[in-house]
Amino acid sequence: MSDLTEEQKEAKKELAKYKRKVVELAGVVHDIVEDTIWTEYDKLPELSEQIAVAMKDVNAFKEQHPYLK
């Protein structure tokens, strides 16, 4: 990917931040499911909504920057 412009490189970094947010939220869900499902299950609907919003952000950003994967 060395043929990317500086703007494209910056966009790639920004996309990584969006993706990291989704992965972090998914990690919280994973931890609840694996460790505390019986006491923290009530947090799952809100986390699910946060993941859905974060994924919309990722997909919208990718639509604006179709050269990114």
Position 1 confidence tier, pLDDT thresholds 50, 70, 90: very low
Residue positions counted in the chain: 69
Tell me what pLDDT residue 36 has: 97
State pTM to two decimals. Answer: 0.87
Section 7-34 average pLDDT = 97
DSSP secondary structure, the chain, as one string: -TT--HHHHHHHHHHHHHHHHHHHHHHHHHHIIIIIHHHHGGGHHHHHHHHHHHHHHHHHHHHH-TT--
Tell me what pLDDT residue 7 has: 92
Distance CA 57, CA 68 (A): 14
Check pLDDT > 80 for residue 2: no
pLDDT, tens digit, 9 for 90 and up, residues 24-62 = 999 999 999 999 999 999 999 999 999 999 999 999 999
Per domain, the residue ranges of the chain are 22-69
